[in-house]
Amino acid sequence: MHVQTRIQMKLVKNTLFTDNIYSTIENSRILIDKIFLNTRIYFVFKYIMLIFKNRKLALKGLYDTEKWVSSSLKVLKLIENCGGKFHIDGLNHIKDCKEPVVFISNHMSAMESMIFPALIAPHKEVTFVVKEALTSHFLFGPVMRARTPIAVGRSNSREDLMSVIKQGKEFLENGTSIVIFPQGARKDIFIPEDFNSLGVKLAKSAKVKVVPIALKTDFWGNGKIVRDLGPIRRKRKIFISIGSPIEITGNGKSENDQIIKFIGDKMNEWN
């Protein structure tokens, strides 16, 4: 059974997310962002400064769970300061789940990778399945490696499957939950056919539950040159919905279909 560490108990006490639903307060955009009109100058500057700070901590071996959650919250507040409006529901499904789980989510932008630690890590140890290239990236690499992710090359799907199953089972057996984006690449629209069953297969192999997450994070667009520094679309609201834990029975196909339906229904509702 998962037991919260002292650090996690401290993080829970200090978290923004004390209820099952979180919504950004009205008029959260700050003056300095308004001064730059509708550009992304302020957002990009603050975001890059935060990444360099995290990189420095990671290189010193100081980027622990507490720093990870703190930086995640800073990104959330930065988004709100730049006009982003969050609506997050189902937070109780993270808090109430005592055992490690596999979180399965669609993937739209860099935002979810930055925000999820603030939602999940105060309650349970967690890591991500990420592209191998990110772990060797000059800027993001040290930060990624500090959080001991499961890295996949995406050149050989069978090797990726075996790697995720093997490493994922070890993490889960040691009490660490895993976030996986079965779509692989970020996509502005949800295409069920692109949503593989890797997360469900991992959960079945490790005998743990899956927690579906549906999200709409296209407030933060994907850049053409630098993927993480795309346009900021202030008129688009940000939605994250966390579903109930699902136990895998049989071959997992019906559960994977259930996850796809959950995400698809939410996307239709938000659109």
**Contact call for residues 141 and 134 (beta carbons, < 8 A):** yes
Helix (H, G, I), strand (E, B) or coil at 146: helix
Nearest Cα neighbor of 122 from 62, 178, 66 is 66
Centre a 10 Å sphere on the Cβ of residue 176 and count the other Cβ atoms it contains.
16
Centre a 10 Å sphere on the Cβ of residue 268 and count the other Cβ atoms it contains.
9
Separation of alpha carbons 120 and 94, rounded Å: 7
pLDDT tens-digit map of 117-135 = 999 999 999 999 998 888 8
Regions of the chain short of the pLDDT cut 70: 1-15, 154-156
Strand 21-23 versus strand 86-89 pairing type: antiparallel
Tokens 């008029």 belong to 27
- What pLDDT is stored for residue 157 in this prediction? 72
Whole-structure pTM value = 0.91
Spans of all domains in the chain: 19-270
Separation of alpha carbons 181 and 140, rounded Å: 18
Separation of alpha carbons 128 and 168, rounded Å: 10
Q: What percentage of the chain reaches a pLDDT higher than 90?
A: 69
**Contact call for residues 6 and 64 (beta carbons, < 8 A):** no
Helix (H, G, I), strand (E, B) or coil at 95: helix
- The one-letter code for the residue type at 121 is A
Q: Which two tokens stand for residue 268?
A: 């239709």
Q: Strand order of the sheet with strand 126-131?
A: 21-23, 86-89, 238-242, 210-216, 102-105, 177-180, 126-131, 150-152
Class of the CATH domain delimited by 19-270: alpha beta
Terminal CA-CA length for the chain: 39
Separation of alpha carbons 96 and 244, rounded Å: 10
pLDDT tens-digit map of 84-129 = 999 999 999 998 888 999 999 999 999 999 999 999 999 999 999 9
- What pLDDT is stored for residue 1 in this prediction? 43
